[in-house]
Structure 1
Amino acid sequence: MRLLLLTLICSLAGLSLAQFQFFEQMFNQGGQQQQQRQQQQEQNVASDSAWYQKTYEGARCTNYLCPGTLACVHFPHHCPCAFPAVEDKVELGEGSAICVSKGGWKEGEAARKIELARKGML
């Protein structure tokens, strides 16, 4: 009887210890993840251009490497806009293009305004 009681107490003690270790590990890991997120948010991008230069120099492109997006295209005026959701690409002729903020609610309004400005009407 004593042996059975002792075995039961040891089993319960081991079970409760395992449960506490599980919760400790679970909450400690959550704390580590939160600390990692906080550290990532606190780190700012460097104020020099070393990262960009290193990435640009390491990019492989046999044609033209767009400086703004690091896209590899056949011609400079084929470069995509960096933020197409809020920018329109407008070709200016002679193989050049620019990206401008989308204007207004109408499709192509930015291009229309640039053309008016080129004609001196805006």
Structure 2
Amino acid sequence: MQLLTASLLSLLLLLTLPASAQFQFFDQMFNGGQQQQQQQQQAQNAPSDSVWYQQTYEAAHCDKYLCPHTLACVHFPHHCPCAWPAVEDKVEFGEGSMACVSKGGFKAGEAARKIELARKGLL
């Protein structure tokens, strides 16, 4: 009789453990995904606080000119790189300054051409 009871308990355990593991898998799969998504959303929604930038700017070491938008150390302000060169064109002005503007069109240099037209009052 004890052998039969032990066998039945063993069989019952063998049947319930995979079911329990299966529910844990689904629980983690769905609830874990929500937690990960919430963590990603929190990481994307950084507060609009300039303290981090100011601390990073002040901690940067540069004996020449420190570009304010990229924190690159260059010899002259107009040598600063654009932060997003894949989507920005760098336009240098005659007085040693520069600006990064969104690429404007399908041709290379289109943004610079439009700025020059605007400077001449034609745009």
Task: For structure 2, list consecutive stretches of 5 or more residues without a partner in the other structure.
Answer: none
Question: Quick one: which amino acid aligns to residue 70 of structure 1?
Answer: L
Q: Which amino acid aligns with 1:35?
A: Q
> In structure 2, what is the Cα distance between the partners aligned to 1:73 and 1:90?
16
* 1:113 has 2:114 as partner: yes
Matches of 1:26 and 1:59, distance apart in 2 = 47
Matches within 5 A, 1:49-68: 49-68=50-69
Structure 1 runs, 4 residues or longer, greater than 6 Å off? none
Q: Structure 1 CA distance, aligned partners of 2:116 and 2:15?
A: 76
For the aligned residue pairs, the C-alpha RMSD in angstroms reads: 2.8
Using the alignment, how far apart are the partners of 1:38 and 1:91 within structure 2? Answer: 42
CA distance in 2, matches of 1:63, 1:25: 59
Change (3 A) 1:57 1:103: same
Quote the residue 2:19 is aligned against.
Answer: 20
In the TM superposition, what are the counterparts of 1:1-122 in structure 2 within 5 Å?
A: 3=3, 5-30=4-29, 31-41=31-41, 44-122=45-123
Of all paired residues, the percent bearing the same amino acid is 65
Can you give the 5+ residue segments of structure 1 that lack an aligned partner in the other structure?
Answer: none
Give the total of aligned pairs.
121
| CA drift at 1:103 | 1.6
